[in-house]
Amino acid sequence: MAPEPSVQNAGLQQADMGAAYQQVYDLLGTMYWEASDLSAKDLLFGAREAVGKILDDIDQQELRTNEQAMKALAPQFSATNAALKKIQDDISQITKNISTAASAIAAISKVLSFFA
């Protein structure tokens, strides 16, 4: 089982947490259409769906100011971030578009940095 994200280091005070996840969400959509491998498409689709759920939860629960809501969603953040890390590690097999790959690596790194 993955460790829960640290609430203290989760970037809750950072106004751009939602923007960072939104950027990843958009890039996952682009990468989906660029991917030629069915298993990569499945990974991207699942990760995009999970990021979309996080975006909904961020909007609904105002996580930046609600530590209890963050704790309740910790398993969801952990699972989603693990999928994003796998995408980041496998980026060269997922997309051959250098610009998309670079943007995805940067966007995923930013999201993961909230939980470092």
> Which pLDDT band, with edges at 50, 70 and 90, does 112 fall under?
very high
- Is the pLDDT reported for residue 13 higher than 50? no
Got the DSSP string for 69-109?
HHHHTHHHHHHHHHHHHHHHHTHHHH---HHHHHHHHHHHH
Dihedral pair phi/psi, residue 14, rounded to 5°: -85, 120
Tens digit of each residue's pLDDT (9 = 90 or more) over 26-65: 999 999 999 989 999 999 999 999 999 988 887 776 655 6
* 0.85 exceeded by pTM: no
pLDDT of res. 114? 85
Where are the chain's structural domains?
A: 17-113
Share of the chain above pLDDT 90, in %: 57
Closest CA to 100 of 39, 28, 25: 28
